[in-house]
Structure 1
Amino acid sequence: MMGKLGNALGRPHVLALLLTIIVLVSFKVPDLGLPFYWDEAWVYAPAVEAMGQHGPSLLPGSIPPELSRGHPLLFHALAATWSLVFGSSPVPLHAFAMLVSVLLLVSIHGVGVSIGLPRAGSAAAMMVCALEPFLAQSGLLLPEVMLALWCTLALLGYVQGERRILVPALVLAMWTKESAVVLAVAMLVWTWSRTPTPGKPAVGTWPILLSIALAGTFFLVQRFVSGWFLYPEHVDMLAPDPVRVNYLLKHLFSTVFEDQGMYVVLYAFAFGGTLLWFRKDLYRALAVMVLYIAGIKFLWGRWMPDELWGTLLAVLCLGALIPLFFRPIHRSAPRLGDLLGIGFLFVGAFLVFSAVNFYTDRYLIVVLPFVALGTMALADHLLQRMGWWAFGGYAVLVVAVLLFHLPTDDRVSDVRLAYGDGVRVHLDLVRHLEAEGLQDTPIRGSYMDIVYLTRPGAGYLKGRPFTRMVPYEGSATDLVIVSNEDPDHEDHLERLQVHEVVFRASSGPAWIELLRTSGLGAAEDTVQQAEPPLVH
């Protein structure tokens, strides 16, 4: 056993993975003690605590629907089980999230090993680790990294032809979030469209259909328990308006393939990879590159201003890449072709799924391993003849570009490293309010301000909760909290007649202010209900 471990540790790709994990853990450990932030504070941490009190369960109705939001309960059950052993405060639950993130990096490396490109697996893990959304969420109690873990393991099972891995991983993914069905559908489409490979174990369609059927049992039970298959509030957010869908698709495309220097990856894959793969068939290479360009031009309205037709033409152009680009790769390198084909279909389908559904940036975490594995695996395969330095140089260049572009912008959110700054300024404000003894003073704030100041479990309070917090839509108050993490903070500042900035705290791009205004009025003596943020 020790001999095998020593041999593994002596391999450069394993050492690279271990170094990546060590860097990630070292980077995240100082923030494990931060209070819960945003969705952690108002829904996921309370849901895990509630399930811990009830007992871990996968059954619908185990916790109230306003906490589960109608999602499957695997994430909650695993986190609750962890909390029963280590506690439900921020440190142990953030450590749980970090452990899931480490396992995701290991699974990414495992996919590279399974297709015979272990260097690509390590490089893909480093690439994901350099992306700001992953760096931010790798220590947050949110389900998207776990969803990415199961989806990556499902990909590993598919490329290996191992149904014993594929079926459980797909079921676990769909029991984490129902959006994982997009991966199952992508695998079905690829299975039907690819050319069978003699001598390679074929997954077939029945294991994928079986996975969907097994995962669907949760929603059948939920229909009997709650009266609905999917959370009604989420269903009401479905808005397949062509203008909105086109706008969101452009935003999603930019987020995945342009932000933080990802355009380097896009150009290297679409143009460099095409030219190198079809270097003996330049006409095909030209056709593939034209389709890439046309798809992007149509999407952005450069060649077709109508949003509906532009979106449809973009889908058609990019869909034509399946027979022209991905199937030829599969015929020459079956496992690489499976990885690229499924990855292409899944990323594209997930972007469309997100555009017609309710969307927030953190949902895209699940596609990042597929993007990283695709670009690194294709590059490693094509550059093998040039020696280790060629692929090593490419991988270092990509990771360096991503790190150079950190942070990507000044937003304060759960996909930006500045979320920690947002937590710190709220802590500073809470300490000021507690020092002034304002627990029974009417104070107006956002929904999240109310959560932080009234729920001890969120981790911000040292003393007793504040009893007279008022939402922005409630009665006028003398004191008002405004912070730049609130998407509507500029509107609030315009409406308020500010007399004085009583307190201000800032950290990095985040700031928060306690304002005294002329808007005096009688506030309710108890906490008023505010609408939660549209982030689930």
Structure 2
Amino acid sequence: MTLKPSDLLGKYKYETLTALMLLLFLLYKLPFMALPYYYDEAWPYAVAIRTVHANGLSLLPTALDPELSRGHPVMFHFLGASWMRVFGTSLWSGHSFAMVISVLTAVFTYKFGQRFFSDRIGAVAVLLLISQALFISHSAFLLPEMPMALWTILCFWFFFRRKKVAFVICAAAMLLTKESGAVLICSLALSELVDFFMGKERKFIDLVKRELLIGYPVAIAFIYFLAQKIIYGWFLFPFYMNNLKSGLASFLEDLASGTAFIFVYEGRNGLMFFVLVGIIMLWLSKKVNIPPHQKKICWYLFSFVLLYIVFSTYNYYMPRYLTAVFPAFIIVCAFIVDSAFGKWRWVYPVIITGLAVTNIYYYVTATDHGDCDYSPSLHVAMKMIDHCEQSGMHDAHIYTTCVLRYDFNEPYAGFIKGKKFTHIDWQFGPGTQYCIFSSDENDPTEIDKIKRENKLTLETKFTEKDRWIELYRVEK
């Protein structure tokens, strides 16, 4: 088959649009690729991957000390170390590994939307996904959350296409990347059960076969966790088990936070407005006839989103842990909005463009250290650490923030150029010679207290946009 130039704007216009969106996305992310690792990237993940790379590729629990792996299975570390065996251990290599995973997540989001809904819905889903502040920020992060998003969309992709072997492989890999992959297994199993009892003329043996298929990855992953139990004495890392919610109040508080994060925060309130209006329009309309298989797919995807929110908030909660639900969530939203407003030829593109611009506006204007442009934070930290190196402060007692403690001491983080600093202190004490305060981490009341109770002299300060970092000398 010969591809004509006219096909790119005709037959394959949505593939062309998706490719252009991803190209622009990659061009934007290029300046981030050589930056040092940020927050949890710096420790433990970059260090853990480099450790597997140095000690030999392995998928066994013994590949990493549990304190370094944080008790998670080592699939992510294994894949990252394998990538570095081929492309080297530079910052560019590490961030490129993450970017490849993010782009594949977007590609399969398109493919899923295209296959089960329409080309246009696939392209809209990609636009709404890659314009999310969380996706933009985390796309180059050496963290396991984006791989979890990729495994999730791949599992759904192969499950609905009846590709049994591929599904089992991807689901097992997901479970061996992070324990939270069990949520997708539970979600599929429950959805299949509900579908069986609500269906007509279903055979029980078919349900058994489907449930067994969903259970095969669990059996594979169980071998790893059994080995972990034999070696370390626990199936799941005690740190996380100890942080499970023990009270209803704390659970409900985090549940509200997690639900708001997915449905409201970071500009998604606009998306939810059109989703809710769209649902009402579709419910009232007698002309729209949604095929049963599309309703089923939306139900499966949305059930997973809800169950994942509940699990994540019951567990040790951080907003970024919800990354895995975004492809499924966005696909459902894109389908509803397209079904309700897609027939409005001129209004519909304005709605979709407006939603994407809203997402990007949040990313550009957000001031927290999370899902926003984090490069100013890294730039000022790099300047401060370079200043301390040039000033020969390697043996000075320096009190600083949690993240900078690792940046001063961990060569793999990508900040220090020479030897490690020997006395980066967790607490301000009698022996403290210098203080470093940062706009990213320090509590203003803590800074005021230290300044009020001690005589400090400002040595230097670096700023970029709304981020700043200060170095004070403690006068004795």
Provide TM-score, normalisation by structure 1.
0.81
* 2:232 corresponds to 1:226: yes
Q: Structure 2: 5+ residue runs without aligned partners?
A: none
**Structure 1 residue 169, shift from structure 2 partner:** 2.0
Q: 2:309 aligns with which of 317, 329, 351?
A: 351
1:502-535 CA-to-partner distances (Å, cap 9, x unmatched) read: 11111222211111234x5xxxxxxxxxxxxxxx
2:367 match: 410
Give how far 1:499 is off.
2.4
CA contact (8 A) 1:150 1:173 kept: yes
Asked whether the equivalents of residues 341 and 348 of structure 2 are also in contact (C-alpha less than 8 Å), the reply is: yes
Alignment CA distance shift 1:120-1:438 (3 Å): same
**Alignment counterpart, residue 265 of structure 1, candidates 265, 271, 287:** 271
The answer on whether the counterparts of 2:149 and 2:324 sit within 8 Å (CA) in structure 1 is yes
1:55 equivalent in alignment to 2:56: yes
Aligned position for 1:185: 186
Paired residues of 2:117 and 2:335 also in contact (CA < 8 A):
no
Q: Which moved more, 1:225-234 or 1:491-500?
A: 491-500
- Are 1:212 and 2:207 an aligned pair? no
The answer to whether the Cα contact below 8 Å between 2:278 and 2:341 also exists between their aligned partners in 1 is no
**Aligned-residue offset at 1:60:** 0.8
**CA shift at 1:166, angstroms?**
2.5
Residues paired across the two proteins, number = 467
Cα distance, 1:116–1:356 mapped onto 2, change above 3 Å: closer
Partner Cα separation in structure 1 for residue 157 and residue 272 of structure 2: 23
Pairing 1:504–2:461 present: yes
Shift of 1:495: 3.1
What is the CA–CA distance in structure 2 between the aligned matches of 1:406 and 1:463, rounded to whole Å?
34
1:431 aligns with 2:432: no
The more displaced of 479-488 and 148-157 is 479-488
* TM-aligned CA distance change 1:179 to 1:259, over 3 Å: same
Question: Which residue does the alignment assign to 1:421?
Answer: 376
Indicate the residue corresponding to 2:425 in structure 1.
470
Tell me the distance in 2 between the aligned counterparts of 1:52 and 1:468.
28
Answer whether contact 2:52 2:63 (CA < 8 A) is retained. Answer: yes
In 2, distance between residues paired with 1:464 and 1:514?
Answer: 20
Q: Deviations over 1:287-319 (max 9, x none)?
A: xxxxxxxxxxxxxxxxxxxxxxxxxxxxxxxxx
CA drift at 1:135: 0.5
**After the TM superposition, which of the residue ranges 489-498 and 83-92 deviates more from structure 2?**
489-498
Q: Does 1:367 align with 2:325?
A: yes
Give the Cα–Cα distance (whole angstroms) in 1 for the partners of residues 376 and 340 of structure 2.
Answer: 42
Q: Which 5+ residue runs of structure 1 have no aligned equivalent?
A: 282-328, 521-536
Alignment of 1:525-536 (within 5 A): none
Asked whether 1:253 is paired with 2:259, we answer yes
Q: Partner residue of 1:300?
A: none
Given residue 120 of structure 1, which amino acid in structure 2 is its aligned partner?
I
Percent of matched pairs sharing the same residue = 27
* Counterparts of 2:254 and 2:3, CA distance in 1: 52
1:69 and 2:87 equivalent? no
Give the whole-Å Cα distance in 1 for the aligned partners of 2:292 and 2:227: 39
Q: Which amino acid aligns with 2:318?
A: T
Residue aligning to 2:120? 119
Q: Is the 8 A contact 1:108 1:152 kept in 2?
A: yes
Q: CA offset at residue 397 of structure 1?
A: 2.8
Is 1:482 matched up with 2:443? Answer: no
* Inter-CA distance 180–97: structure 2 relative to 1 (3 Å threshold): same
The answer (yes or no) to whether the contact 1:159–1:335 under 8 Å persists in 2 is no
CA separation in 1, counterparts of 2:268 and 2:398?
43
* 1:406 counterpart letter in structure 2: Y
Q: CA deviation at 1:129?
A: 0.6
1:235: which partner in 2? 241
Superposed displacement of residue 198, structure 1: 8.7
The whole-number CA distance in structure 2 between the counterparts of 1:83 and 1:178 is: 24
Are positions 1:336 and 2:337 aligned together? no
Q: Does 1:31 align with 2:32?
A: yes
Describe the superposition over 1:182-225 as per-residue Cα deviations: whole angstroms up to 9, x where unpaired. Answer: 111111121111244899x9982221122222222221111112
| Distance verdict in 2 for CA 1:498–1:484, change over 3 Å | farther
Q: Is the 8 A contact 1:501 1:513 kept in 2?
A: yes
Distance 1:432 1:462 in 2: 11
Q: Tell me, in whole angstroms, the C-alpha distance in 2 between the residues paired with 1:43 and 1:6.
A: 49
Q: Deviations over 1:89-143 (max 9, x none)?
A: 2111001111111100001001112203121111111111111111011111111
Secondary structure of the corresponding residue to residue 504 of structure 1: strand
Question: What is the root-mean-square deviation in Å for CA atoms of aligned residues?
Answer: 2.6
Q: Deviation of residue 468 (structure 1)? A: 2.3
CA contact (8 A) 2:278 2:336 kept: no
Quote the offset at 1:67 in angstroms: 1.1
Distance 1:119 1:427 in 2: 43
Q: Judging changes above 3 Å, is the alpha-carbon distance between structure 1 residues 188 and 487 closer, same or farther for their aligned structure 2 residues?
A: farther
Check conservation: 2:48, 2:69, Cα contact below 8 A: yes
Q: What is the aligned partner in structure 2 of residue 309 from structure 1?
A: none
Distance 2:91 2:278 in 1: 45
The range that moved more, 224-233 or 402-411, is 402-411
CA distance in 2, matches of 1:118, 1:103: 17
Q: Distance in 2 between matches of 1:502 and 1:454?
A: 21
Q: Per the alignment, in what secondary structure is the counterpart of residue 343 of structure 1?
A: helix
CA contact (8 A) 2:396 2:433 kept: no
Shift of 1:32: 0.5
Taking the aligned partners of 2:155 and 2:347, their CA distance within structure 1 comes to: 30
- CA gap 1:387/1:410 in 2 versus in 1, 3 angstroms: closer
Structure 1 pair 248/7, CA: closer, same or farther in 2 (3 Å)?
A: same
Mean CA deviation greater in 496-505 or 17-26: 496-505
SS at match of 1:204: helix
Give the Cα separation in 2 of the matches to 1:8 and 1:483.
Answer: 49
Assess if the C-alpha contact under 8 Å between 2:87 and 2:93 holds in 1: yes
Structure 2 distance, partners of 1:378, 1:273, is 7
> Which one of 378, 388, 403 corresponds to residue 336 of structure 2?
378
Q: 1:197 to 1:126 in 2, by over 3 A?
A: farther
Amino acid in structure 1 at the alignment position of 2:398: I
Contact 2:131 2:356 in 1 (8 A): yes
